[in-house]
Structure 1
């Protein structure tokens, strides 16, 4: 056993052991070769097997996480639709600011919105953010999509979009300021030319 251990752990060259066994028994030679081949392949393949298992397991975890994320989103959408139905007592399929204020008094809406990271202390701001078409009424799609967009911390895409829109707005204000200055200069020149004529 010690010789076999030394043969695979580089304590002794297994070729020397093989030469010693050739005169003793052909069965011993075959068994030694089989032992060396099996142990070397097992040692070489063991890390690969662990890596493959780890990769498969990580892939399965990603798939499970993706499925859970979809299920969570579907559950949140269904809950928001139920809350919309509870607030829309008149079945108008539209919510006014007063309806949302009354809904915030119920623990169902306020508690759920707080649980998904939407602050409910400023109802007017929340209503204005949900009313994307600025009609003063919120339909089911606006309510659900607005709440899902407000859900949780700001996403990098949303921050980048806001930054881009802010840049465009600043540029538009600069252009407007230049145009206004040019118009004022032209008006001043026209008024001075008009006074000179008189």
Structure 2
């Protein structure tokens, strides 16, 4: 066991546990969008960043293993501002037509924006300019993918590789043209997709 301090409170934890593991075990809320316990810790959303004494930079709680004597802050004015900025950055390249979205009301991004008081993107990112070049992929009779609603959390890919274990999904293209190369098209069955639905759940 190791000893550490989170938000001024002393805790003990198993060696090798991440800061996020320990926080969740002790009902300390750290926001995430990309993390899935036991499935994905890619750290792409950057919302779980925390302050650790002795480090000048913020550290991702989902990927940072706790060490003996660590002193961690999960809430501060700096972190509040940082998380607000990250949410605004995500929204700047996101289709904001929430009312027509099937996820409206149950959307994790929407919930976090409400929590941090983010009502709109302050500017439009480069991805908005090329949305029409990223058409909705819906040739698969069971799944569809709208790139304009994708926040690049990578959870669907992680689930496909680590739970379904068939690797049908992968990243495709780069930069603002990034999409999840889903099993679509006439030969979608050849990708290994079993239409299990885990990627969409």
Same fold (TM over 0.5): no
Larger radius of gyration: 1
Query: So what's the TM-score if we normalise by structure 1?
Result: 0.22
**Higher share in strand:** 2
**Higher share in helix:** 1
Higher relative contact order (CA 8 A, sep 6+): 2
